[in-house]
Amino acid sequence: MSDHILIIEDDEHIARVIQLELEYEGFKTSVVHSGREGLALLKKEPVQLVILDVMIPELNGMEVLRRIRSMNEETIVIMLTARNSVYDKVSGLDLGANDYMTKPFEIEELLARIRTHLRFHPRKRDEPDDSISIRHLMIRSDAREVYVNGSIVDLTPREYDLLMYLAENKNRALERGQIVNQVWGYDYFGDTNVVDVYIRYLRKKLQPTDEEPFIQTVRGVGYMIKD
């Protein structure tokens, strides 16, 4: 089950950008634009992480944070603010925020912090391992991380999606058309040769030795991962 992230942000453009990036990463999201709306949703639905802007209408972010912490201590809260004062940061952390980011920020850094907090949260450590291991490769689907011989490998979102589809269907020969439909989507109108291009990218990143190819070509069909 995907982690549920609540975005409490009155700037609709910023909220939408964050939402789209999170959903692309596979998270379930909810967006509200005021403090009262955020608290109302938190009382109705389980939420693992809250992205909370300080300057929001009705109830400001500090008050929302105080009320979140009065309800539970488990929900991860990352504060966002346009201010850059030490006082605001200290106040947020003293009230129980797990992290703090100052606007403007890079979305990649926000995503990295979210993944880190979710990965090492006590709730996560009690959950069953959701990883896939094939030969020298391990995929942690909960964190969208890939390891080769124990070292993390940097993959683009598309490379990861392609690898995950192949891994979930290991020992099965997959046609290029199948792969395109599942990884690029049914509305993709490009050439299926795009699969060959991304397979080359993956092989370069995942094949540390000259042993039998990790991703094998099935002549006249497509590709498969053979375990």
* 107, 125, 143 - which closes a domain: 125
Sign of dihedral through CA atoms 70, 71, 77, 82?
negative
The interaxial angle of helices 86-94 and 61-71, nearest 10 deg, is 20
Single pTM value for the model: 0.55
The C-alpha atoms of residue 204 and residue 199 are separated, in whole angstroms, by 9
Confidence (pLDDT) at 210 = 55
How confident is the model over 105-154, as pLDDT tens digits? 899 999 999 988 888 776 554 444 567 888 778 888 877 888 887 788 89
How confident is the model over 26-76, as pLDDT tens digits? 899 999 999 999 999 998 888 999 999 998 998 999 999 999 998 888 899
Domain carrying residue 197: 131-225
In the chain, what percentage of residues exceed pLDDT 90?
A: 48
The predicted model gives 78-96 an average pLDDT of 79
Q: Are 24 and 115 part of one and the same domain?
A: yes
* Exposure class string for 101-122: b at 16+ Cβ within 10 A, else e: beeeeeeeebbebbbebbeebe
Q: Are 118 and 152 part of one and the same domain?
A: no
With beta carbons less than 8 A apart as the criterion, state whether 79 and 64 touch: no
Q: Are 120 and 189 part of one and the same domain?
A: no
Q: Rounding to the nearest 10 degrees, give the CA dihedral for residues 102, 104, 108, 110.
A: 30
Q: First vs last Cα of the chain: how many Å apart?
A: 26
For residue 155, pLDDT over 80 is answered with yes
How confident is the model over 72-83, as pLDDT tens digits? 888 999 999 876
